[in-house]
């Protein structure tokens, strides 16, 4: 009798556990479906079926929970985007370059405190010491090539080697003493690629293939340096856009080199992130160097490690990087505490996958961004903001008025402009971007300055 009663009790308990499990699974499934619909809706807003497209992947706790394609891979041939498509990832390449340097550090082949003159003979550093750390962290003071110089190099459509750019950059003095400022420098990462070749005895592309792509089984990732005409299956075609889409200019990949020459897929980049977090490539303490928010001489944080921007998404620390290159744009985000990885790749440089990836990451961790409420300005109020605003580097932004709407654009880029949407006194945002424009006034309440803020940088421009 006792045994029978216990059996019945156990049966009831088992049924209760089964029912609870079923309800829990149903609840989790409901949350997953809701998240999927939210991401679908977000991506559908910005990537139309007949436009250049994107692929986005989301992983949680090391497992893929979302991976979908939107839009077109080839507009001329009406080829829809697939999640297997291969994209140029631009400056996300810097993560691979930084990790390669750290791998060579573990092998004892270099030190982060090494003076770059050890590898690049007679580099002019004004008797100062520029270290590998400074190159990795964008605190070297080494100038990027001016925009027009990049254009002139690119226009030749010929293959270069790293020393061609390094010797060209030697003509320019440091723009500041090492570690006095943070200033993003592609040239610094090209020098790092050259150091990888000198210390490893391998071509940069061969080092990546042997030590990263093969190890992590990244079968659809490529470094196209030296292989400009290679056929790559499932490669998305690249577009740029002003008022309409057009074919992006050809860029010889040796010109991006270790600052931006990699092609990949969302699933391969998921493998890359897992490989880092599982310490497949580097020891935990070595990888932490890439994720450290370093400090300048004046005590300010750089918000940059080695190949990773260190930011936050509504209070959750994020490690991320994007890329933009003719025809393509990319962005990847890792939230370490929540173990969430989001990567978005697009085949149009003027799409903004950073915006979508950041919003998606916020949705996944249940910290969505709150929409801003638009204010109304009459013509007299809007006219106060009109004019030219000049940055110290010579860049001029023009604020104009068109049918009672304010727009901002670079003076040297005729077809690309963004609408300024007012949300607070003297503050404006740009739709589909985490960009704020704030106008500053003097004591006479005259506008004298424009501050341009993104999640990653702040620029000040003086009214002319």
**pLDDT digits over 338-384, tens only?**
999 999 999 998 888 999 999 999 999 999 998 888 999 999 999 99
- pLDDT tens digits for range 240-280: 987 789 999 887 777 889 999 999 999 999 999 999 999 99
Provide the token pair at 382. Answer: 């809007």
- What does the pLDDT read at residue 3? 36
- For the stretch 125-135, pLDDT in tens is 876 799 999 99
In the β-sheet with 328-335, what is the strand arrangement from edge to edge?
A: 63-70, 54-60, 340-346, 328-335, 316-325, 309-313
Instruction: Label residue 54 left, alpha or beta by phi (over 0 means left) and psi (-120 to 50 means alpha).
Output: beta
Average the pLDDT over 116-141 and give the result: 91
- Per the listing, tokens 């497949």 go with 280
In a domain, 371, yes or no: no
Instruction: Give the chain's mean pLDDT.
Output: 89
| Type and span of the H or E element at 291 | none
Specify whether 328 is located in the same domain as 419.
Answer: no
**Number of domains, the chain:** 2
**CA gap 369, 316 in Å, rounded:** 13
Are 323 and 398 members of one domain?
A: no
Over residues 127-153, the mean pLDDT reads: 80
Q: Check if the beta carbon of residue 139 is closer than 8 Å to that of residue 182.
A: yes
Distance CA 259, CA 193 (A): 8
Co-location of 354 and 425 in the same domain: no
Are 91 and 125 part of one and the same domain?
yes
Which residue's structure tokens are 């709150």?
Answer: 370
Least confident of 115-119, 300-304, 414-418: 414-418
Last residue of a domain, one of 364, 398, 430: 364
Q: What secondary structure letter does DSSP report for 86?
A: B
Chosen domain end from 316, 337, 364 = 364
Across 174-315, where does the E strand assignment appear? 222-223, 239-241, 245-247, 262-264, 309-313
The last residue of a domain, from among 304, 339, 364: 364
Q: Are 64 and 274 in contact (CB under 8 A)?
A: no
Once rounded to an integer, what is the mean pLDDT over residues 110-119? 96
Task: Give kind and range of the element (H or E) at residue 103.
Answer: helix 93-106
Mean local confidence (pLDDT), 372-401 = 93
CA distances from 423 to 30, 281, 372, 420, 445 (A): 35, 46, 6, 10, 19
Domain extent, residue 232, equals 87-364
pLDDT in tens, 278-309: 999 999 999 999 999 999 999 999 999 999 99
pLDDT of residue 225: 87
What's the CA gap between 85 and 87, in Å, rounded? 7
pLDDT per residue as tens digits for the range 75-114: 999 999 999 999 999 999 999 999 999 999 999 999 999 9
| Domain contains 425 | yes
As a whole number of angstroms, the distance between CA 419 and CA 401 comes to 10
Asked if residues 456 and 303 have their Cβ atoms less than 8 Å apart, the reply is: yes
205/264 same-domain check: yes
* pLDDT band at 416; cut points 50, 70, 90: confident
Give the per-residue pLDDT at 22. 38
Note whether residue 102 is domain-resident: yes
| Alpha-carbon torsion angle 114, 120, 122, 125, nearest 10 | -50
Interatomic CA distance for residues 145 and 168, integer angstroms: 9
Distance CA 365, CA 393 (A): 38
Query: DSSP letters along 121-167, please?
Result: TT---TTS--BHHHHHHT-S-PPPPPHHHHHHHHHH-----HHHHHH
pLDDT at residue 13, rounded to an integer? 45
The reported pTM is: 0.86
Tally of CB atoms within 10 A around 161: 14
Domain membership of residue 74 (yes or no) is no
Does some domain include residue 57?
no
Q: Do 52 and 241 contact (CB within 8 A), yes or no?
A: yes
Q: Are 345 and 89 in contact (CB under 8 A)?
A: yes
């Amino acid at each position: 009798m006792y045994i029978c009663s216990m059996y019945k009790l156990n049966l009831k308990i088992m049924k209760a556990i089964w029912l609870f499990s079923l309800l829990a699974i149903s609840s989790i499934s409901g949350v997953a479906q809701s998240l999927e619909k939210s991401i679908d809706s977000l991506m559908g807003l910005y990537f139309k079926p007949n436009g250049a497209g994107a692929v986005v992947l989301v992983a949680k706790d090391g497992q893929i929970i979302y991976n979908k394609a939107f839009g077109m891979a080839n507009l001329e041939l009406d080829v829809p985007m697939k999640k297997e498509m291969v994209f140029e990832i631009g400056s996300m390449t810097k993560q691979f370059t930084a990790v390669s340097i750290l791998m060579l550090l573990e092998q004892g082949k270099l030190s982060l405190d090494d003076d770059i003159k050890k590898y690049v003979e007679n580099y002019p550093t004004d008797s100062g010491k520029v270290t590998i750390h400074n190159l990795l962290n964008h605190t070297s003071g080494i100038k990027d090539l001016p925009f027009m110089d990049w254009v002139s190099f690119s226009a030749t459509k010929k293959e270069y080697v790293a020393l061609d750019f390094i010797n060209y950059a030697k003509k320019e003095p440091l723009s500041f003493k090492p570690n006095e400022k943070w200033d993003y420098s592609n040239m610094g990462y090209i020098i790092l690629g050259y150091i990888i070749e000198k210390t490893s005895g391998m071509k940069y592309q061969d080092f990546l293939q042997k030590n990263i792509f093969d190890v992590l089984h990244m079968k659809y990732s490529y470094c196209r340096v030296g292989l400009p005409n290679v056929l790559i299956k499932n490669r998305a075609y690249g577009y740029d856009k002003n008022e309409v889409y057009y074919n992006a200019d050809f860029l010889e990949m040796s010109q991006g080199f270790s600052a931006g020459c990699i092609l990949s897929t969302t699933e391969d980049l998921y493998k890359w992130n897992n490989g880092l977090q599982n310490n497949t490539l580097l020891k935990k303490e070595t990888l932490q160097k890439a994720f450290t928010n370093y400090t300048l001489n004046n005590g300010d944080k750089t918000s940059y490690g080695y190949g990773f921007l260190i930011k936050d998404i509504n209070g959750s620390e994020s490690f991320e990087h994007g890329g933009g290159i003719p025809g393509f744009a990319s962005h990847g985000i890792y939230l370490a505490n929540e173990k969430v990885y989001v990567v978005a790749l697009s085949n149009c440089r003027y799409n903004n996958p950073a915006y979508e990836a950041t919003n998606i990451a916020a949705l996944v961790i249940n910290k969505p961004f709150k929409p801003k409420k638009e204010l109304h300005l009459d013509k007299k109020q809007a006219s106060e903001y009109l004019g030219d605003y000049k940055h110290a580097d010579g860049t001029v932004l023009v604020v104009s008025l068109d049918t009672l709407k304010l727009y901002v654009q670079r003076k040297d880029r005729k077809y690309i402009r963004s609408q300024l949407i007012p949300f607070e006194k003297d503050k404006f945002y740009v739709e589909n971007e985490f960009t704020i424009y704030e106008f500053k006034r003097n004591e006479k309440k005259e506008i004298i300055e424009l501050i341009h803020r993104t999640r990653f940088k702040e620029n000040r421009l003086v009214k002319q």
